[in-house]
Amino acid sequence: MQTDSSFTFVLFGGTGDLSMRKILPALYEAHRAGMLAAGGKIVAVARHEEDRASYLQWVNEHVKAHVAKSGVDENAWASFVDRIEYVKLDLGRAEDFVKLRDALQDHSGTRVFYLATGPSLFVPICHALASVGLNENARIVLEKPLGYDLRSSNAINDAVGEIFSEEQIYRIDHYLGKEPVQNLLALRFGNALFEPLWRREWVESIQITIAEELGVEARGDFYDNTGALRDMVQNHLLQLLSIVAMEPPHSMDSDSVRDEKLRVLRALKPIDPRDISKVAVRGQYHAGVIRGTSVPAYATEPGVKPDSTTETFVALKVEIENWRWAGVPFFLRTGKRLADRVAEIVVNFRAVPHSALGASALRAGANRLVIRLQPNETIRLYCLAKKPGEGMNLSSVHLDLAFDQFFKEGQMEAYQRLLLDVINGRLALFVRRDEQEAAWKWVEPILNEWAASGKPKPYAAGTWGPAAASAMLAQHGTCWLEEEN
């Protein structure tokens, strides 16, 4: 797959952490694989480097270390760097955007503006682009977080929407570009085997976990004003939930897929503020040990207020009020400084209604599907089989689809796929405004209640979070999947 035509990819925040770790390495991988049209250009925009030579020096020093595990092909790297141009730009100087417009005049094809900046700069950048006519026939990519709550999210969307149409706006959520998420769609809608089972009659519960071993690192000031609910649940986890629970779209075009995701988000059972303590657990990590190394408490991290009540852990019980999922609990969990780095979706199927083979055939979780997103990307189906030997003794076995073993060609990273989709004008894997609004509306009662209530529950770094998160599942006769793979 190659990009459809020539393009100009303008990267605001060209010296930022996201550009260094994700965006530029993803563009390099697409270039090395021959997926970028030959005439395509990358124009980095920043205010730190003086000229193209100094910017390319920064690229060579900082970006190379973040490219694929297979290392750098020096010939491909040299031709990739040839694509890169640089514009020194101060957002407060209108004449600098005139300079940007002039720099882009000789570039033909699709024009993409990627805003790898803080959300406070989204609207000023869009207005500045419009002031020099650069919004016309262009595409703009917005990174999360898009707002602090429903009101601020709507304010940003309203302002950007006055300058760019909805078809021009690409709200990126990199989890939607991950290979196992794509394979979840293939698994459900490309096979007759699973779709009849993908409903309340056969599914007992579903878990979605995004766990991190890292703390807030150098982002203490940002994170203390955000928290796990805004940072992870409102976007990543609810997007994954909508992919898992959606009805089959009539095709894979952008609006067909996003219409079905929206129906799931609008069907989420509203949470009564009086019930939040029963279905939502928030925690904050204290000092502990991660892989043999002592780590500090959240409250002592740089940039964090000592008396902070910001949550670093969230566990939720979610219900979907529709015909397919009525009565099936969805358990969402995310946190920092947990026992392992893992992102996965666990579909627990119901036990057989009667067992002639003993009690082991009736145990919870005997049949489950585990879709692992990180660190290793696999889909694993667990079932029961007879152990060798005398008697009918059952044991858990699994069928394993390990993508790196089954498919010999290298997997495409999430950002690589999504950037190619932007350049090619494919919107299906990007979040539409009405999806975003529905997600904010659902989380707002929790945000409001937590803002008015006491402190989050403590948990030691290196554990799986507060005990209350496990107790919530125990009430439903199940537990979090916390096994090593």
The DSSP-derived string for 142-160 is EPSP--SSHHHHHHHHHHH
Residue type, 160: V
- Reading the block at residue 38, the tokens are 């030959």
| Percent residues over pLDDT 90 in the chain | 70
DSSP assignment letter at 218: T
Residue range 95-114, pLDDT digits in tens: 899 999 999 998 888 999 99
Tens-place pLDDT, residues 274-324: 999 999 999 999 999 999 999 999 999 999 999 999 999 999 999 999 999
Taking the C-alpha atoms of residue 11 and residue 14, their distance in angstroms, rounded to an integer, is: 6
Q: Decide: 269 and 241 in contact? Cβ < 8 Å.
A: no
Q: According to the model, what pLDDT value does residue 385 have?
A: 82
Q: Is the pLDDT of residue 356 over 80?
A: no
Can you give the pLDDT at residue 2?
Answer: 54
Residue 437 CA to residue 97 CA, distance in Å, equals: 31
Find out whether the peptide bond into 375 is cis, omega within 30 degrees of 0.
yes
> What are the start-end ranges of the H helices in 162-283?
179-189, 220-224, 227-228, 238-245, 254-267, 276-279
Q: How many angstroms separate the Cα of 299 from the Cα of each of 178, 273, 302, 373?
A: 33, 27, 8, 30
**pLDDT given at position 203:** 96
Question: What is the C-alpha to C-alpha distance for residues 171 and 187, in angstroms, rounded to an integer?
Answer: 25
Exposure string over 3-29, b if 16+ CB within 10 A, otherwise e: beebbbbbbbbbbbeebbebbbbbbbb
Indicate if the alpha-carbon torsion angle 96, 97, 99, 100 is positive or negative: positive
Beta strands in 319-393 (DSSP E): 330-335, 342-349, 368-374, 378-386
Placement of tokens 């100094």 in the chain: 54
Give the confidence band of 325 by pLDDT, cuts at 50, 70, 90: very high
236 flagged as catalytic: yes
Domains and CATH numbers, the chain: 7-143 (3.40.50.720), 188-410+430-474 (3.30.360.10)
> Given this model, what pLDDT does residue 1 score?
53
Flag whether pLDDT at 221 surpasses 80: yes
**Of 326, 372, 327, whose CA–CA distance to 484 is shortest?**
372
Q: Is 215 helix (H, G, I), strand (E, B) or coil?
A: coil
pLDDT band at 484 (very low <50, low <70, confident <90, very high): very low
Please give the average per-residue pLDDT across 72-89, as a whole number.
94
H/E run at residue 209 = strand 203-211
- Supply the pTM of this predicted model: 0.92
Rg (CA), the chain: 24
Mean pLDDT of the chain, nearest integer? 91
pLDDT at 411: 74
Backbone phi, psi, residue 418, to 5° = -70, -40
308 and 455 Cβ atoms separated by less than 8 Å: no
- Give the pLDDT score at 360: 64
For 282, half-sphere exposure in the C-beta direction (CA atoms, 13 angstrom radius) is 21
User: How does pLDDT run across 140-198, given as a tens digit for each residue?
Assistant: 999 887 889 999 999 999 999 999 999 999 999 999 998 888 888 888 888 888 888 99
Distances (CA, A) of 275 to 208, 271, 428: 21, 7, 35
CB 244 within 8 A of CB 366: no
Q: What's the rounded Cα separation, in Å, for the pair 24 and 337? A: 28
pLDDT tens per residue across span 32-43: 999 999 889 999
What's the pLDDT tens digit per position in 375-421? 888 888 888 887 887 777 787 788 887 766 777 666 788 999 999 99
Q: Which residue has the higher pLDDT, 161 or 351?
A: 161
Tell me if 10 sits within 8 A of 112, measured CB to CB.
Answer: yes
CB 229 within 8 A of CB 446: yes
Q: Which pLDDT belongs to residue 361?
A: 60
Q: Is 371 helix (H, G, I), strand (E, B) or coil?
A: strand
Average of per-residue pLDDT across 12-36? 94
Of 174, 236, 250, 476, the catalytic one is: 236
Burial class (CB in 10 A: 0-12, 13-18, 19+), 391: exposed
Task: Tell me: pLDDT of 269 over 60.
Answer: yes
pLDDT score of 14: 94
DSSP secondary structure, 92-120, as one string: T-HHHHHHHHHHHTT--SEEEEEE-S-GG
DSSP per position, 379-422: EEEEEEEEPSSSS--EEEEEEEEEHHHH--SPPPPHHHHHHHHH
**Dihedral of the CA atoms 206, 194, 252, 183 (nearest 10)?**
70
**What is the rounded CA–CA span in Å between residue 412 and residue 340?**
24
The pLDDT of residue 391 is 72
Q: What is the pLDDT of residue 408?
A: 65
∠ CA 467-345-144, nearest 5°, is 90
Question: Is the confidence at residue 364, as pLDDT, over 70?
Answer: no
CA distance 396 to 383: 6
